[in-house]
Structure 1
């Protein structure tokens, strides 16, 4: 498999590209994508067998089950990052090792608990994100792993992309079945 083919499997919807100017239409669309994630994951996974939940979306990639658990963990972190940024002055957020999280025992468990987490976290995210003022959207946090500042408006776009990115991974795993 070529490097280009592996890249496309890793990033089936490409990488996030921040628009030059983020508009209210971007924000509304991104929030809708974020709110839709739990229902989309439920629809994609509700009839899957244990074997199907263990399909991988690429060689050396995660299983569908790991992707669902990762989304729950990642989006718990996103909710906290938004809240910390809204309540502290340009905080430095704490990164985590998502690859190491994916190796922990809870990622082998059924996905129902992570789906419950996603439903709750995304409900709270939707309420919070819809309440943000124009000045709130400009607030920033520092991500030490990337060595840069991220505004909340950009972060909404990143998490909308992240949601769609992992939905594409689940679909890709189902299309490729037991190939990887």
Structure 2
């Protein structure tokens, strides 16, 4: 994978998702443990913040720390539901989250305390990790068509994307908290 340009380094601080075609049981185990641990990292980074640091963003025009916390809680509902839908239904195309920027622009995203979203993230990740631990090899290979990415994703790739997504936005929060608010 090539290194993002300097302007992209703040947008993709951990790089673009670079999934694999297949994952070993050990790699999946590592991803599940990361999935389980990420909510605590979000809590540690954000739960004691006041309004000023919650209003910081990681680059001009980007979402604030508060918006990022709400976004990760909301979208990880969708990640979890896509896995369940893939296991429970025969339809290959799963639902999409919608216009994430419109969601982030809502007053609720800009004013709601992060505590509720931290609780959601903890619950979703706990359930998602537990569900992953119940999957067999055939389940991991099941695929769904992701209309936004315009590609098929196996459930093991979906797990990898979910972990990457949480780490990606946690890195954004870290960038935002190391600098004064960006207007």
Q: Does residue 1:139 correspond to 2:133, yes or no?
A: no
Superposed displacement of residue 112, structure 1: 1.0
Q: Does residue 1:107 correspond to 2:109, yes or no?
A: yes
The two structures have a TM-score, normalised by structure 2, of 0.92
Q: Is the 8 A contact 2:47 2:115 kept in 1?
A: no
Superposed displacement of residue 20, structure 1: 4.7
Report the equivalent of 1:178.
Answer: 181
The two structures have a TM-score, normalised by structure 1, of 0.93
Query: Quick one: distance in 1 between partners of 2:180 and 2:136?
Result: 44
Superposed displacement of residue 29, structure 1: 1.3
Query: Quick one: distance in 2 between partners of 1:59 and 1:25?
Result: 39
Query: Quick one: distance in 1 between partners of 2:11 and 2:150?
Result: 23
Equivalent position to 1:159, from 153, 159, 162: 162
Alignment of 1:83-98 (within 5 A): 83-95=84-96, 96-98=98-100
Alignment of 1:65-80 (within 5 A): 65-80=66-81
Q: Which runs of 5+ in 2 are unaligned?
A: none
Report the equivalent of 2:130.
Answer: 127
Q: Is the 8 A contact 2:21 2:157 kept in 1?
A: no
Aligned length: 178
What secondary structure does 2:123 align onto? helix
What secondary structure does 2:14 align onto? coil
Bigger drift between 48-57 and 140-149 goes to 140-149
The CA deviation string for residues 134-176 of structure 1, in whole angstroms up to 9 with x for no partner, is 1000001111223221100101000010111111111111112
Query: Quick one: distance in 2 between partners of 1:4 and 1:176?
Result: 21
Superposed displacement of residue 104, structure 1: 1.5
Query: For the aligned residues, what is the CA RMSD?
Result: 1.5
Bigger drift between 19-28 and 67-76 goes to 19-28
Q: Is the 8 A contact 1:56 1:178 kept in 2?
A: yes
